Amino acid sequence: MAITKKQSTALAKQVFEYAPAPEAIDHIKIQPRYGLFVGGRMVAAHSKKRFPTINPATEDKLSEIVEADEVDVDRAVTSAGKAFDSWARLSPSRRARYLFRISRIIQERSRELAVVETMDGGKPIKESRDVDIPLAAAHFFYYAGWADKLEWAFPNRKPSPIGVAGQVIPWNFPLLMLAWKIAPALAAGNTVVLKPAETTPLSAMVFAEICMQAELPPGVVNIITGAGKTGSLLVSHPEVKKVAFTGSTEVGKHIQRAIAGSGKHLTLELGGKAANIVFEDAPLDQAVEGIVNGIYFNQGHVCCAGSRLLVQESIAEPLLEKLKRRLSTLRLGNPLDKNTDIGAINSRAQLEKIQGLVESGIEEGADLYQPECDIPTRGFWFPPTLFTNVSQSYRIAREEIFGPVLSVLTFRTPAEAVEKANNTPYGLSAGIWTDKGSRILWMAERMRAGVVWANTFNRFDPSSPFGGYKESGYGREGGLHGLLPYVELN
């Protein structure tokens, strides 16, 4: 017996009535305008172009940011180039200490960072507070320890740093992606110029303060702001020897083309369209939590999101019933509220992209389900959404939506599940839900994806390598393998 939408919503309302519990923001100091972090201090930019960064939950302007131009990029890269020799030659244990110090300061300033992250990006405070910021600190702590142990990481080889790394990061996990990029680069003795995404530059600006607080030698970390043009100038700069990019597959391909033949080292962490596969013997309640975490975590702005649910036909009905019921209990609203599950969509452009793909799903014939939920009048919002009756050829089953939209497909045999899961040009992650150990390993072996979560989803750890197969990119971030992109092996 299917629970009707009305019933489930009524039930949810009855069980989950919460008073507002907003996180305090009075301790946050966001400056009205920011310069660039070059040569160890905040400097005025050459570029006169500025753009606002807004809170996507309210559309209020938070600050004004520079759109760095060619001169700014060159200054930042030159500064990193100047710092390189002494940083690379610094006693490794000293490099380690700086990184440990940064990690500690992130921990000390964690609440401030969490609030800034949530205000600038729209993600629920419970996620920035409990996931993004602690993981960012842990990442620096982990790689700090590698700085003076590199000779143990690569048997029979002598690792040396590459030079200046140009790093471009996305808006979905701003500080965490910064940590993933900067920590291993610095540990290996490189210096960096990093460009945060144009919609989420603020936590990187706080990080610039943290570098100063840690007394990191000038030029070791440089942070410049801007949009695609600035990023393109950065990765193409001849003095940049290593390029690391996290973002869309489209831009990743563009970067690979743009720097072809330059001899620059390149790692790409790109899009995904992960299958989350539920077998009939899976513990359904746990699987439902895993599915929800897989696609509605961070509003689905996750490259490794479990955006395709593959459910074994025999349990499709009860599973979907539970899932729909669970969806109706998700609380959408003020990202700063500690009880919020679904925050704001990061930008108007992203909201429009999600809306466009959802419309295509309806047009192509899939059945839409959205729980009743109040959408705030200001800001960018999209309710948790799932599609059933989805064919593999539909755009919503093929393209990365990067929003809280789940496409549900069914399968009968494990072989069919493998076939469907791998039927994508992407290969970032996969999820497997079953109680049978041998089947977990059998499935894990066959998933053409860099990260496989069995009976869990969306887990991250600094010691755990992360990265894609196929068009999800190459190179790994995290763990021992995350050092490799930042060293030359002699």
Partner 1 sequence: MEVRKTYKLFVNGEFVRSESGRAYRPDGLVNVPRGSRKDLRDAVRAARTAFSGWAGRTAMNRGQILYRAAEMLDGRAAQFVELLGGGARARRELDQSVETLVWYAGWTDKIGQVTGNVNPVAGPYFNFTIPEPTGVVAIVAPEEPALVGLVRRVAPALCGGNVVVALAAESHPLPALTFAEILATSDFPAGVVNIVSGQRKELLPWLATHMDINAIDVAACTSDEMKTVEAAAADNVKRVIKTRSEEHSPHLITAFMEMKTVWHPIGV
Contact positions vs partner 1 (CB under 8 A) = 138, 155, 157, 249, 252-254, 256-257, 259-261, 268, 270, 425, 440, 444, 447-456, 459, 461, 463-467, 469-474, 476, 479-481, 489
In the block, residue with structure tokens 């009756």: 389
Residue 237 token pair: 């700069």
Nearer Cβ to partner 1, position 80 or 278?
278
Q: At what angle do helices 110-121 and 92-108 cross, to 10 degrees?
A: 70
Least distance (Å) between residue 441 CB and partner 1: 8
Nearer Cβ to partner 1, position 212 or 259?
259
Q: What are the CB-based long-range contacts (under 8 Å, 24+) for 354-359?
A: 354/382, 354/401, 354/402, 354/403, 354/404, 354/405, 355/382, 357/395, 357/396, 357/399, 357/401, 357/403, 357/405, 358/385, 358/396, 358/401, 358/403, 358/405
Nearer Cβ to partner 1, position 405 or 484?
484
What is the DSSP code (8-state) at residue 482?
Answer: G
In the block, residue with structure tokens 């020799």: 85
- The alpha-helical segments, DSSP class H, found in 259-394 are 284-296, 316-327, 348-364
Active site residue 211: no
Q: Is 450 helix (H, G, I), strand (E, B) or coil?
A: coil
* Calpha distance 7→10 (Å, rounded): 5
Active site residue 269: yes
Least distance (Å) between residue 362 CB and partner 1: 30
Least distance (Å) between residue 5 CB and partner 1: 32
- The alpha-helical segments, DSSP class H, found in 20-108 are 70-89, 92-108
Beta bridge mates, 472:
none
Q: How big is the CA angle at 125 (ends 477 and 427), to the nearest 5 degrees?
A: 30
Work out the number of other CB atoms within 10 angstroms of the CB of residue 31: 12
Nearer Cβ to partner 1, position 85 or 461?
461
Strands (E), 425-476: 429-433, 451-454, 473-474
Least distance (Å) between residue 106 CB and partner 1: 15
* Calpha distance 372→76 (Å, rounded): 49
Work out the number of other CB atoms within 10 angstroms of the CB of residue 6: 10
Q: Give the rounded distance of the alpha carbon of 417 from its chain centre.
A: 27
Least distance (Å) between residue 255 CB and partner 1: 8
Nearer Cβ to partner 1, position 123 or 470?
470
Nearer Cβ to partner 1, position 39 or 283?
283
Least distance (Å) between residue 469 CB and partner 1: 5
Nearer Cβ to partner 1, position 300 or 427?
427
- Active-site position among 67, 198, 303, 400: 303
Least distance (Å) between residue 456 CB and partner 1: 5
Q: First and final CA of the chain: distance in angstroms?
A: 66
Sign of CA dihedral 304, 485, 154, 180: negative
- The alpha-helical segments, DSSP class H, found in 297-413 are 316-327, 348-364, 395-398
- Active-site position among 23, 127, 269, 471: 269
Residues noted as catalytic: 269, 303
